[in-house]
Structure formats: structure tokens, C-alpha cells
Amino acid sequence: MDLEFRHLKIVSAVADAGSVSKAATLLGLAQPALTAQLKRIERTLGGSLFERDRNGARPTPLGELVLTRARVLLPAARELQEEAVRFANTVGDMPSYRLGATNGPILGGVVDRLANTHPATPVRTHTSWSAVDLTSMVATGRLDFVLVGSCGDSRPPAGDPVNWMNVAVDPVFVLLGEEHPLAERKEVDLSELADEQWALTPGDGCFADCFAAACARAGFTPQTIYETDVATCVHLAQVGRAAVLCQAPFALTPGLVMLPLVGAPLHWRHLLGYHPEGRAALAAPLIAEHAKAAHHDAVQRSPRYLDWLVRNPEFGTAP
């Protein structure tokens, strides 16, 4: 006979009750039946677990060993069962998934995957340029998950008790109009763009400061910086009015080329945030896998980035 969790429950019940007869009553078993089960358990474990007399049942040294392990294993098994039930209910019966995101290549893929895997569960989205505001919405229960970026190795937005999971790390590339003199290059040094005007999307992190520091290391101070929406950034690059900083999986539109910067002076971490005690916390691993898959798909649509990753495997989708 193999030892099972129900056997540990019996041993614990006898120890807690102090006698076989009281344990039988608590377990809803006849005393002879419980006595027979206890003997089979003792044969399996190789010795007596209790000393029994008219005063009740006291654990033997072997019984104490078994009880010590049982008091760890039984709560762990119960917790696993409860967590599995909560997870199944969360994934299958959520009234909706509420997702927030800043500009990036991931949100659309996550929405598509959730629609395919849980078609009966609506997905609601909220986008903002402010990672701080989105993080606050998760911390206060107004969003279930948030997809934001963090420049370089900087910390994600403060928002205890929000937990963070790494999704991917991308280099920052530059978008230029296809008529730009550097458009035919495979990569470009940041110093070669010293005379450009620049465009980037807004944010409340340290990216603008990191960009200024990278330019200083390259020997120049950037000229005009247009801080505007994605569509305007794209238009300014297409007509040759600005160089645009972008995440490497950016989906190219006609009239643009995307070039890596030599040495990857800037990079961007994609993060998934959630409240550890929120209504959807148990679904966080599922959402993280969807986010990683969405990022992977975005990378596959960028031949320039795929080629660059071969030489720089430390970047890309997180394992």
C-alpha cells in the first residue's frame, strides 16, 4: 500500500483527538474501521505511530516524525487545491479583463489571444502616455493588468503593492524617411544624427533624460524634440522633418526605414504589472504568457530586428 494524503489526515486526526474513538467520531467512521486503517498505515510506515492505553493515544517517536511532515504537507495540499479552484474560476468566469497600456507592440496581441482563448469574457482596454497613472489604476483596483515600459535598468513606476513581471527587452531604433541620406545603411551611429530634429511619444519616465545623456556621450545636444502622438511622429519621419525613436518591433508603414543604433545606447523593458490580491491576480501567469507571445509575434514581423537579434541574443522576448 502506498501512503496517501488521506492516511496523513487519519494520523493527524488521531493525534489531535487524543484517542482512536474520538477521531473515529470526528471522521464519521466506525472505530473498528479506523483502527484497521491505522494498522495498515503503520505497516506501510514500518512501525507503531501511537501508544494506546485507557488514557488515549500518544504519538511514538515515529508518529511524531510523521506528524511533523503531515502538518507541512496537508496545509500545502489544501492551499494548492483552493488556489487551483480560484484560478479555474478566475480564468473561466471573470466578468471581464481590464487591461491598461502605454504605447507599445503588445496590447493588441494580448487582446486577440484572450478573445480566442476566452471568447465569453469581454476585454476592456485603457491606454495612456502615463505609466504612473496606469500603475495607480492597478493599485486601486480600476485595472486588472497594465503593460508599461521602463527605460534601461530603471525601476518600474512606484505603486505598492503592484507586482511586476518582465515580458521583453528591446533596443531603441530610429525611424527615418526612405529618402533620408542614411536610409540605405544597415545601422547608424547616434553621432551621425547630430543635426537631426527629433520626435518621440510622451511619457513620465526617464527616457527623455536617458536620450539626452546618450546624445551627450555621442558628442552633441539634440536639436528640437517634438513630443507628440505616434501618428504625428510617423508623419514627421515620412516627410523628413524628424528622426523618430522607436521600439525595435515597431510596425513599419510605407515611406519609412528603421535603423539600429550602433552599440544599442538605449533600450526599453516591457513590464506586466498586477495587484497581487486583485480579482485577477491568479491569471497573471496566463496574461504574461500571452504578452510574451504577442511580443514574439511582433518581432517576427520585423526582419531588420530579427537580423539584429542574431548578433544580440541578450535582447528580445523574456524566457
Which tens digit of pLDDT belongs to each residue from 245-292? 999 998 888 999 999 999 999 999 999 999 998 888 889 999 999 999
Q: What angle do CA 257, 234, 98 make, to 5 degrees?
A: 115
What pLDDT does residue 219 have?
Answer: 96
Here the cell at position 159 is 505603486
What pLDDT does residue 200 have?
Answer: 92
Q: Is 143:157 a contact under the CB 8 Å cutoff?
A: no
pTM: 0.70
Taking residues 215-228, report their average pLDDT.
Answer: 93
| DSSP alpha helix (H) spans, 50-197 | 61-93, 107-117, 131-139
SS3 34: helix
**CA dist 300 to 123, 221, 304, Å?**
25, 34, 10
What pLDDT does residue 203 have?
Answer: 87
The yes-or-no verdict on residue 308 having pLDDT over 60 is yes
Burial class (CB in 10 A: 0-12, 13-18, 19+), 304: middle
Taking residues 213-225, report their average pLDDT.
Answer: 94
Residue that wins the pLDDT comparison between 80 and 288: 288
Q: Which amino acid is at 246?
A: C
85-89, 159-163, 168-172: segment of lowest average pLDDT: 85-89
What pLDDT does residue 65 have?
Answer: 93
pLDDT above 70 coverage of the chain, percent:
95
Average pLDDT score over the chain? 89
40-79 CB burial, b ≥16 within 10 A, e <16: ebbeebeeebbeeeeeebebeeebeebbeebeeeeeeeee
Please report how the helices 284-300 and 303-311 are oriented relative to each other, as an axis angle in degrees rounded to 10.
100
- Which regions of 114-266 does DSSP assign to beta strands (E)? 123-127, 145-151, 163-177, 198-200, 225-227, 243-247, 256-259
pLDDT above 90 coverage of the chain, percent:
61
What pLDDT does residue 103 have?
Answer: 87
Indicate the pLDDT class of residue 87, thresholds 50, 70 and 90. Answer: low
What pLDDT does residue 81 have?
Answer: 67
Distance CA 25, CA 30 (A): 7
What pLDDT does residue 291 have?
Answer: 97
Taking residues 52-70, report their average pLDDT.
Answer: 90
What pLDDT does residue 4 have?
Answer: 84
What pLDDT does residue 94 have?
Answer: 63
How confident is the model over 4-51, as pLDDT tens digits? 888 898 999 999 999 988 888 877 778 888 888 899 898 988 999 999
**CA dist 141 to 166, 176, 226, 279, 294, Å?**
21, 41, 34, 8, 25
Indicate the pLDDT class of residue 53, thresholds 50, 70 and 90. Answer: confident
Q: What angle do CA 114, 270, 133 make, to 5 degrees?
A: 85
Question: CA-based diameter of the chain, in Å?
Answer: 98
Q: Is 48:63 a contact under the CB 8 Å cutoff?
A: yes
3-state helix, strand, coil in the chain (%, to 5): 45, 20, 35
**Which domains, from first to last, does the chain contain?**
5-92 (1.10.10.10), 97-317 (3.40.190.290)
What pLDDT does residue 83 have?
Answer: 61
Half-sphere exposure of 109 (CA within 13 A, CB side): 21
113-122, 171-180, 265-274, 298-307: segment of lowest average pLDDT: 113-122
